[in-house]
Amino acid sequence: GAVVSQHPSWVICKSGTSVKIECRSLDFQATTMFWYRQFPKQSLMLMATSNEGSKATYEQGVEKDKFLINHASLTLSTLTVTSAHPEDSSFYICSAPHDTGNQPQHFGDGTRLSIL
Amino acid sequence: SQQGEEDPQALSIQEGENATMNCSYKTSINNLQWYRQNSGRGLVHLILIRSNEREKHSGRLRVTLDTSKKSSSLLITASRAADTASYFCATAQLRSWGKLQFGAGTQVVVTP
C-alpha cells in the first residue's frame, strides 16, 4: 500500500541550529501534504498545508518564518525549523491524503526534535 | 485548533474487557477517522467512517457515528495488552479536503 517516509526519525541539536525534516510519498504523488506538531501527552496540532508548486498555508499562530515549508516536487515536502530553540522541541509528523480525500491519510512515522 | 473533545482522557482495563471511548466534534464533516498511536511512534489508521454511515466494523473494532449529535464512539472488544496505546479521532471537515482536526485523545492501558 501507499507509504509516506519521514526522515530523520530523531534529531538532537543545539539551540540556534536550523533543522530540516523530509516527508516523501513513496509510491504515489502528493500535491498536498500536511505537517503536524505534537507535544508530549498532547494531541496532534495541524501546523500547515504544504502545496506542491505554491506557498504553504499556515494555521493561525504558526510562524511561517520559523517553520519554512517547501514542496518542490510531487513526492517531497520539507519542513525546516529555523534557529530552533528548546521550546521547538516536539514530535513533528507529516501526512499525505489519498486522491479522493475521503480515504485514510498516510502518515509518516514522525520526527522527534530535541533542542538543547 | 482541535476540532473537539474525547472522553475519557484515560482508560485502564484488564485483558478481555471491552474499551469504549467517545469523540465529539463541532462542525460538519466529510468523514471521521480513528487512529492509534503507541508511545513516541507514528499514527496507525484504524477505521474511517463517512458522514453518511452510522456504524462500521473492523475485526475487534466497532465505530459509530451520530452526525446529529456530532459524536462518534470507538469500541475495542476483548482487549489485549497490545491494544495499550493512545487513540485519537480526527475529522475531515467539509471543504477542507484532506485537512484533519484531531481530538485530544484517549490513553488506554490494558493490563494482563
Say which of B2, B42, B105 has its CB closest to residue A110. B42
Residue A2: how many other CB atoms lie within 10 Å:
14
What is the tens place of the pLDDT at every residue in A27-43? 888 889 999 999 988 99
What is the tens place of the pLDDT at every residue in B28-60? 999 999 999 998 788 999 999 999 999 999 999
Cα separation, A60 vs B72, whole angstroms: 27
What is the tens place of the pLDDT at every residue in B81-103? 999 999 999 998 877 767 899 99
**What residues form DSSP beta bridges with A20?**
A80
Nearest to B83, CA basis, from B19, B34, B10: B19
Is B99–A34 a contact, with Cβ atoms under 8 angstroms apart? yes
| Nearest-CA distance A110 → chain B (Å) | 6
| Nearest-CA distance B18 → chain A (Å) | 23
With b for 16 or more beta-carbon neighbours within 10 A and e for fewer, the A84-111 pattern comes to beeebbbbbbbbbbeeeeebbbbbbebb
**Bond prior to A86 in cis (omega within 30° of 0):** no
